[in-house]
Structure 1
């Protein structure tokens, strides 16, 4: 069976998507420190060139700049951990002050259960009483699993240290030997691919900048909505809390929920249900606005159609998890760059 010419570009595109997904998956799984090394080396290149103009050798300038960056990162991590430790210590010292409040809430909870029990059939109450031990066991298991989760994360700390060391070394060598690495690739690859790969490199650079710009825009929008909502509700430290929630919006897994959810639960437990609803409304508006604007903002900054950007984000999240929020559009951009450079034939010829 001979494939018609008009279907060949579509076949090439499908194969390219599969290959790009496999390559990105394997790279993220096994070579992530080196990927970050390339990105960091690329980001510090303007500083390295500036240092070279000051007659500082690339070997030394790359090392000095990277040491400064990683020292700052480690300082921020240590400062954050120490701050969290101090705050937890304060929390432990003030917990006894909330004993009476907790005791009162527990009494209210028992009274509410008693009032509700009047309207519950006797069979249901008997079932609940007979299975109360199972409920306690479930809660105990949940707490135990939570602590196991925390301990497992602590076990990962040595792995994180190794990851940072390899990322630092990769960044340094990629930055120091940039020209040698590029010359090696040029010798290995056919001459006909040099220009195409240069075009892909330029397009990926512009797309990377566009992706960062898109995330900054989304964070600014989320921050503005949060601050405005806090000011409307006359929340104490509205500006500071809004900025913190906005910065947390960078985190793909937790985001501002690290602030909102515990706050909402605390308000409900302390009886401020109406205020908890207002805070929940702000949280839902922030999350909803981000989800609505995400595809449009990312697509416009990457030069992708909003529908294509939405599909890329969805498929990226389904395949890679939360990292797919960035990797999905990135794969789409790589394929587009390959089409523009001629490595992949276009679907239609103009």
Structure 2
């Protein structure tokens, strides 16, 4: 054991130092996100309004007027579309929540009927087993319905009780407008007063991380938009109720690594088969197959090397970040994944982490066991 520690303590220390740095960085970011949410929103809004404001300013318009026009268009188009989506989604989800008890009753009755038919056909199950099976089926249906009610109601509540979010959003719009006006002075101040070490770090992040994050976000938006369109059109053709909300939920699930649309569609298809709606279940299975095939065909072309990390690693890092740092951790986790990947590709991690002695000696004979 002592020889093991002697050999690996430098490597363990270097890795622990990097992990501690990442942890402290995320801790600071989560704290800043809680106390300065409007500022982070302002940076996102600024990135949306600045291209148009810059174009108008280059054509001779004063920057203040150009920024005002760009901000106004953002409020009218983006915020108007978002408000419409929230209203439609909320109304359809509330309608779905109100009918979950009916779906539960149908599901429970169908399970009981199937058990009774099997018992009448084979007559091999004791009566107490049949009674327990019916009881378990009822309990299972009740728990599933409660889970769905809590899940969907929680989503609706998070959308409808957004007074704090609206306050932060409005403040973020105002800050983004002033930032758009003053951006040149801020750039000049940063250029003159920032130490060279921080400038080099900024250029590294801009070149290796910001571009990766931008391409990653664009790729994900294209993929979820494609999923939404395919599911929405299919559900409209099948005349499924609440097609918009189901399609939006499918797009949200499609963002999650390793989960995807199957998380929503497979339980739905199983339920339809159990309750006897076989036709719709078959069509939904076909829709799910089409969505999976389209994503498998288009994902390599759209995403390319935007992230370059396995889905398991991404999801595991997101779960840990969510548990430790909340929403801020989920927001920052793709940034850190791309940063670590860039540091590895540029050779920084290899220089920062000292290898164990005599473990990677070139030309050493292969290990043959004890």
| Residue 50 (structure 1) shift | 1.1
CA distance in 1, matches of 2:143, 2:94: 29
Matches within 5 A, 1:20-31: 20-31=25-36
Aligned ranges 1:63-74 → 2 under 5 Å: 63-74=68-79
Pairwise CA distance, 1:315 = 0.9
Q: For the residues of structure 2 that align with 1:346 and 1:106, how far apart are their CA atoms? A: 56
Of residues 325, 328, 350, the one that matches 1:347 is: 350
Query: Where does residue 206 of structure 2 map in the other structure?
Result: 201
Q: 1:18 aligned to 2:20? A: no
- The answer for unaligned runs of 5 or more in structure 1 is none
Instruction: Give the corresponding residue for 2:220.
Output: 215
Contact 1:313 1:328 in 2 (8 A): no
C-alpha contact 1:223 1:246 (8 A) present in aligned 2 = yes
- Give the whole-Å Cα distance in 2 for the aligned partners of 1:291 and 1:213: 17
Q: Specify which of 172, 177, 187 is matched with residue 167 of structure 1.
A: 172
Match of 1:53 among 53, 58, 64: 58
- 2:317 is matched with which residue: 315, 318, 328? 315
- The answer as to 2:81 corresponding to 1:76 is yes
Superposed counterparts of 1:320-335, under 5 Å = 320=322, 327-335=332-340
Pairing of 1:232-247 with structure 2 (within 5 A): 236=238, 245=247
**TM-score with structure 1 setting the length:** 0.65
1:283 pairs with 2:285: no
Q: Pick closer, same or farther for the CA change 1:55–1:294 going to 2, 3 Å.
A: same
Contact 2:318 2:333 in 1 (8 A): yes
- 1:190-247 CA distances to partner (integer Å, 9 max, x unpaired)? 244324423423434322331133214534764797699x69xx95589xx89x9489
Is residue 321–residue 330 contact of structure 2 (8 Å, CA) maintained in 1?
A: no
- What's the counterpart of residue 36 of structure 1? 41
Deviation at 1:146, TM superposition (A): 6.6
Quote the offset at 1:31 in angstroms.
3.4
Q: Which runs of 5+ in 2 are unaligned?
A: 1-5, 353-370
Counterpart of 1:156? 161
- Return the alpha-carbon distance in structure 1 between the equivalents of residues 159 and 247 of structure 2: 25
